[in-house]
Amino acid sequence: MHVTEVPKPAVTGRDRITGLDGVRGLAALFVVVHHCRLFSFPGFPADTGPLWLSPLLYGHLAVVVFIVLSGYSLALGPAGREWHLGRIRTFLRRRAWRIIPAYWAALVFSFLVARLLVTETPGVVPTGRSLLTYGFLVQDVVSAPSPNSAFWSIAVEAQLYLLFPLLLLLRRNIGAVALVVCVLTGVVLIEALSGQVPVFMSLLHLTPEFAVLFTLGAVTAGIRRDSRMPWSWLALAGGAVLVILIAVLGPVRAIGHYFWLDLLAAFPVAALLAGLAQGRPSWLIRVLDSAPLRFLGKCSYSLYLVHVPIVAVVSHLLVRAWLPAGTPAFLLTAVLAVPLAVLFARGFAAVFELPFHRHRSAAALLAAIRSKRHAQPGKGTGAPPA
């Protein structure tokens, strides 16, 4: 991969790259529909549904998009400051402030749905141990009944945040290509030796290939926007290779080898982001920047967090009470669950996510709440109620 240094003045995190919200929104929507499919056909990872629904087996690849995009978005600011992060404590505190409140709220929501209404997987009932394990983001190393199968990636991403300062340090000192090669080599060695070295087998539970995805996204933030490299065409070519490989392997083998597919998928995703930064392809950017996809993108994190319990309720308590597993059950589940999940996620984001984005500390958030309350008619302003 050819990577050139970012010139001065450089890209900053304040610059808006058109289309990124749309990418987030599409990825989140794909995960929701993926789970509608899983609830409607038995035998996963075997493909027991019609051929036209086969792509929905690979919802995991949408998480690949999220991880690459996370590294990219976080690195846009440092890329414009010669890869300097600032105070590490401040960075980690802000990351926790942005992701944990919504995550904890979704954890409680998922727990209550599973305990009071229906579990995602029959017989798997979350417990107090689940709340502690998932609450402290150690679900990839401590076993507990899952309240929400989408939560596995949140712990992985939190661990990647801890690595981010080190990645920037290495990017400054050894360059982009060397950094990607080093991380890739280390991760591949973990996989190659996992059968002989028990500690490496344990490390596979941490999804180590995501470190490569995150790193690749971060170094992509340093690619010049006026680069002549045809990134969008490279993304298309890489995506075509991925699709052909999945078709050749079939779903059972492909899903059983996500380690390698994740690594392969990361490169076309990174190339797509570099292409979007160039403003190419223009037709795709217009689609990604459309109002519906921007709407989805703004609540994509919340949608990812809360959709599984909603799909479970719709599938288990409504659809499957009337329809057997199959295409009609999938279609009805999707028609009911997708808009319900999106609307619920939007309201959820307004309460548990977006306020923590707008206000960077508890003091700022409390001050905004007090200011809003005092500004309401009849509440301390002396104004009569409307």
156 lies in a domain? yes
* Choice between 378 and 161, residue whose per-residue pLDDT is larger: 161
384 lies in a domain? no
Instruction: Give the end-to-end CA distance of the chain in Å, rounded to a whole number.
Output: 62
- Number of structural domains the chain divides into: 1
- State whether the Cα torsion 37-41-45-49 is positive or negative: negative
Q: How far apart, in whole angstroms, are the C-alpha atoms of residue 103 and residue 125?
A: 19
139 lies in a domain? yes
| Residue range(s) defining the domain that contains residue 151 | 20-352
Q: Name the burial class of residue 105, with classes exposed (0-12), middle (13-18) and buried (19+) by CB atoms within 10 angstroms of its CB.
A: middle
For 300-345, the pLDDT digits (tens) are 999 999 999 999 999 999 999 999 999 999 999 999 999 999 999 9
39 lies in a domain? yes
How many of the other CB atoms lie within 10 Å of CB of 60? 17
361 lies in a domain? no
DSSP label at residue 6:
P
231 lies in a domain? yes
Place of tokens 């978005």: 73
Using only C-alpha atoms, the chain has a radius of gyration, in whole angstroms, of 22
370 lies in a domain? no
Encoding tokens for residue 369?
A: 């709440």
- Does this model's pTM top 0.85? yes
SS3 category, 317 = helix
For 212-263, the pLDDT digits (tens) are 999 999 999 999 888 889 999 999 999 999 999 999 999 999 999 999 999 9
Is the CB of residue 179 less than 8 Å from the CB of residue 144? Answer: no
Q: What is the mean pLDDT of residues 18-42?
A: 97
14 lies in a domain? no
Is the CB of residue 187 less than 8 Å from the CB of residue 211? Answer: yes
Is the CB of residue 248 less than 8 Å from the CB of residue 219? Answer: no
pLDDT of residue 373: 72
**Which of 5, 192, 157 is CA-nearest to residue 67?**
157
For 250-299, the pLDDT digits (tens) are 999 999 999 999 999 999 999 999 999 999 999 999 999 999 999 999 99
Q: Which amino acid is at 69?
A: L
